[in-house]
A and B are shown apart, each in its own frame.
Chain A
Amino acid sequence: MWRGNQFFLKLRNFFRRDRAEREMTREMESHLELIADDFRRRGMTPEEAQAAARRAFGNIELARESHREARSFSWLEELQRDCAYAVRTLRKSPGFTLAAILILGVGIGANTAVFSQVNAVFFKTLPVHHPHDLRTLSWTSPERAFARGMFQGPSWQARLAAGETIPTFSYSVYLRMRDGVTRFSDLACFASLPAGAMTAAGPVFIELVSGNYFQTIGAAALIGRTINIDDDRPDGPPVAVISYGLWRRAFASDPDILDRTIRIRETPFAIIGVMPQEFGGLNPAVQRDVMLPYANRRLVTPAGLDRNFWGGCQIVGRLQTGAPDEQARAEAEALLRSAILDDPPNQPYEMPKLHLADAAWGSDDLRRTTSSPLAVLMAAVSIILLITCANLAALLLARGRARQKEIATRLAIGAARSRIVRQLLAESLLLAIMGGFLAVGLAYGLSPLLTGVLGQLSQNLTLSGQPRPPGVYVTPDFRVLAFSVGLTLLTGLMFGLLPALRAARIDLLSIMKQTPAASPLGRFRFRSGKTLISVQVALSVLLLMAAGLFARTLVNLMAVPVGYNPQQLVLIPVANGARSPRQVIEDTMTRLEGIPGVISASASEFPLFNNAEPKRPVCIPAFGADVQRVDWAYVFPRFFEVWGVPLLLGKDFNQSPAAAVIVNETFVKRFLAGKSPLGQTVGIGDCTGGRQASIIGVTSDHVDRQRAAQTPIVYAPYPLGGALPTTTFAVRTASDPHSVVPAVRRLIVEAGVTVEGDVTIGAEYWARTMRRERFLTGLLVFFGFLALLICCLGIYGLLAYVVNSRTFEIGVRIALGAERKHVASLVVRETLAPVAAGIASGMVATLTLLRYVESILFGISPHDPWTAAGTAAAFLSVAGLAAFLPASHASRIDPMRSLRHE
């Protein structure tokens, strides 16, 4: 009990320090008086008695200090004194303080912002019940003929080659697994529809979910209820659960939302619930606005998702408590295989192997697409912070020099060196903390923008090329806060420790004796400051060179010939209704051509650059009897003319669809090498008879998206009767394509076709395919220049200090007849060596590190001499600029005044 009591008494003394201090002073004064009384009684004069009393008492300061130590927590008091002292010192130089806080705020803020993205993508678990029991299912197989209807475009090939597993199943396989599993408490199916559907509220993204989906993942609605098993019946009512974002955006947060409906493709869906803001589904990589029962799929997808279509279902399951993964996997795998055996394909295939993955963080789409850009960004902002630290350390070192006398005086009157170090550290920590506050404020304030950043990085494009925002909710949480607090303290230590240790290590005698005349006139020594300048320059060179290489990569990518003419091209993706589409499409094309400013119009199943063109089996007798899978695109006549794809050989389709196809250059190179392509036949399906078509033309290749390999494509005339789910109209205009867009929109509405996505300008689509590159490059260039700016400030600060501390010496030189020009160059030369050393080591570091990102570069090597030369030139000129002011100041020093100065 005493101990506790003592603690509170000490704490009370800490807070009532003035009172305790007064009491102590009073007691010690009375003590002195009493001693003095004794001495007076022995016959001393009052003055003598006072002096003798002081001698007899001993070191009064020491007694006071030990009194304080005993009565309270001395470290707490010291900390408070250090902080108060730091505040006083910082207030004395508001310019330095403000600049330091700003630089730190930007440095720590950039790190906090990027980390909050990393946090949202990699660390936050899904806002569902027991997320770690959730598993997503996927499979691998070298021969996938059982996977019917799967698109196997080039992007899939690349992903499979990279060892990725396939996350989709068919609905019938799903049902088989759901009904058979015992190790899972339930399996749910969900499917994100790739294109946004047009509604009164703009395009919305739809996710179809099985009736047990919400119950399985353990997510509850914010308003109303979620979809349940009764909703997911073939004759079930059209109901919808909407996202928080759509509720806010399209319904203005209407509290009576449950009375309202949302019309999607002519069907009004009754809204039964709103999900909470944090809910981003199982795949936070893509936004979902509307969730519908799986049974409603025919109402929203033109063709409906066929039960046997292997793109129809992604599966998530909840493990029974304590069930081992391997048992659950083996059980589900057996069910999957037996479902395949029930309906085996007539082509060779290999049984798939099933994989389970922890779904606590959602499926890994977002992580996959954003991990390398986020890593680049995180590296960039860490470098910025390091530069910031080096910069502030150099400035503090310079300040420490300027404060040498003050520190020496304090040491001389008995302050411990550790005390001085603590005091200087308190200063830098205080700066860091204020910068940290600014940083967290920035990060919280900008958090709506941060979600957009992730959208820029995730490279999800809708059919019309609009960025499809991720469903991630990027708001700084406790983890981000802890990160910034830790980073702030670390930063404070990093830039403060070296200057503080340096400052306290000074040699007392030499400082106290020092007069200007005694200071060395030779080369100015400030090695640690110069090293810090080199470090800053090296790090900035790294950033700037990376930015330069990325920028040149972007330029190179833009310069790649695309194989068609995206300028003056308007694209209108539409969904076909139930009416005979061919007639409607032909009529619409004719009317589009009637719009003033339109040169020609055509249509096709998909836009030219859509790499989701389905692979279809074809037989090429001239190549061999094996079935080949090639991209297959249905087009109307004049498609190539409108898109601006040159026909290399032969002719275009005419109005009556015949058994004719047109192939691209790669097709010829791959399958008909050395033969005359015209007149060769292509069998549709396999080689055992069936429909045959002859090649009537060859087009040049085109580029789907940057860095994609060319694939063989067969263009076939749009089928006469067959209703294809989607069509994209293409319109070539005479001048600015924007001028015809309103008329085009009006006409499409009058024609009664449903626009899927939005009207797009070809050139804009092309630009958007490089959105991520552009965005990353933009950020890197920004960071590069930020680094350059910080460096510039650092060099300026250091030189200004150098000139200031050498005023006397420079004065002497000028008095002795040194030319002013020479004096200026002397100052400039001080910085050239560290800057040059920094550039050299920065380049070496860049070459070493950029090997890891070489695959991101395009058409340029990391050893590119021009980028290196440009960066070096930029730095030398900036260093020169930064040195100019202090140098000209030095050359204008008046010798008389500088000599009288001390």
Chain B
Amino acid sequence: MPGEAKDRVELLQGTLDLIVLRALATMGPLHAYGIAARVEQASDHPFTLNQGTLYPALVRLEQKGWIKGKWGTTENNREAKYYSITKAGRVALGKETERWRRLVGLVEKLLLRES
């Protein structure tokens, strides 16, 4: 499986939080599997979200009060923990998105100038 490992995109520290918040903001409440599937689908890239990083991100976001977990049932009548974005989470998403855009813009600019 070394090839797969090479293709994998390692997420930058902090970006996973942003992605999860974004997914919850657009899709409404999702369970962990749902989030993983959504990210995979939206990214257009054959990368699987490592559960070893997704779960700590969920714990972290919940402890920060940005998302909230609640047990519910799926359409197939399975129980699952649904996460939804909170008000504080929306505020944070706005800020984080802005910050991310600025960072990306800056990196772009630097890359262009150097080439």
Contacts and interface: CB of A to CB of B under 8 A. Distances in A.
Interface of A: 2, 5-6, 9-10, 24, 26-28, 30-31, 33-35, 37, 56-60, 62-63, 65-67, 69-71
A63 B51 contact: yes
Given A5-B64, A34-B33, A67-B56, 4 more contacts: A6-B64, A62-B52, A67-B59, A70-B55
Contact of A34 (B53, B64, B65, B74): B74
A610 B81 CA distance: 94
Contacts of B81: 26-27, 30
A10 B56 CA distance: 13
A6 B52 contact: no
Contact of A2 (B33, B56, B64): B64
Contact of A71 (B63, B65, B76): B63
Nearest to A32: B33
A5 B51 contact: no
Interface in B52-90: 52-57, 59-60, 63-65, 74, 76, 78-81
Nearest to A5: B65
Interface of B: 31-33, 48, 50-57, 59-60, 63-65, 74, 76, 78-81
A34 B72 CA distance: 13
Given A9-B63, A30-B79, A31-B31, A57 B56 contact: no
Contact of B55 (A30, A34, A35, A63): A63
24 contacts: A5-B64, A28-B55, A30-B78, A30-B79, A31-B31, A31-B32, A31-B33, A34-B80, A37-B78, A56-B48, A57-B51, A58-B48, A58-B51, A58-B52, A60-B51, A62-B52, A63-B51, A66-B52, A66-B53, A67-B56, A70-B55, A70-B57, A70-B60, A71-B59
A57 B56 CA distance: 15
Given A6-B64, A9-B63, A71-B59, A34 B52 contact: no
Given A30-B31, A30-B79, A67 B63 contact: no
The 10 closest A-B pairs by CB, nearest first: A70-B56, A70-B59, A63-B51, A34-B33, A67-B55, A62-B52, A71-B59, A66-B56, A9-B63, A63-B52
Contacts of A2: 64-65
A801 B59 CA distance: 49
Contacts of A69: 56
Nearest to B36: A31
Contacts of A56: 48
A566 B39 CA distance: 103
Contacts of B76: 37
Nearest to A1: B65
A58 B78 contact: no
A66 B55 contact: yes
Most chain A CB inside 10 Å of its own CB: which residue of B33, B54, B76, B79: B33
Contacts of B56: 66-67, 69-70
Contacts of B80: 27, 30-31, 34
A31 B64 CA distance: 23
B7 to A, nearest CB: 16
Contacts of B31: 30-31, 34
A176 B74 CA distance: 101
A419 to B, nearest CB: 18
A30 B30 CA distance: 13
Nearest to A8: B63
A5 B55 CA distance: 19
A31 B58 CA distance: 14
A59 B53 CA distance: 11
A5 B79 CA distance: 29
Given A30-B78, A30-B80, A34-B31, A59 B63 contact: no
A5 B52 contact: no
A64 to B, nearest CB: 8
A31 B50 CA distance: 13
Contacts of A60: 51
Contacts of A28: 55
A27 B59 CA distance: 12
A60 B55 CA distance: 11
A775 to B, nearest CB: 64
B32 to A, nearest CB: 5
Contacts of A10: 63
Contacts of A65: 52
A65 B48 CA distance: 19
A2 B79 CA distance: 30
A711 B50 CA distance: 95
A74 to B, nearest CB: 11
A35 B74 CA distance: 12
A71 B58 CA distance: 10
A70 B52 CA distance: 11
A6 B79 CA distance: 27
B45 to A, nearest CB: 17
A405 B52 CA distance: 30
A58 B33 contact: no
A900 to B, nearest CB: 46
A63 B52 CA distance: 4
Nearest to B57: A70
Nearest to A36: B78
Nearest to A61: B52
A62 B54 CA distance: 12
B29 to A, nearest CB: 14
Contacts of B52: 58-59, 62-63, 65-66
Contacts of A57: 51
Nearest to B55: A67
Most chain A CB inside 10 Å of its own CB: which residue of B56, B60, B64, B74: B56
Contacts of B64: 2, 5-6
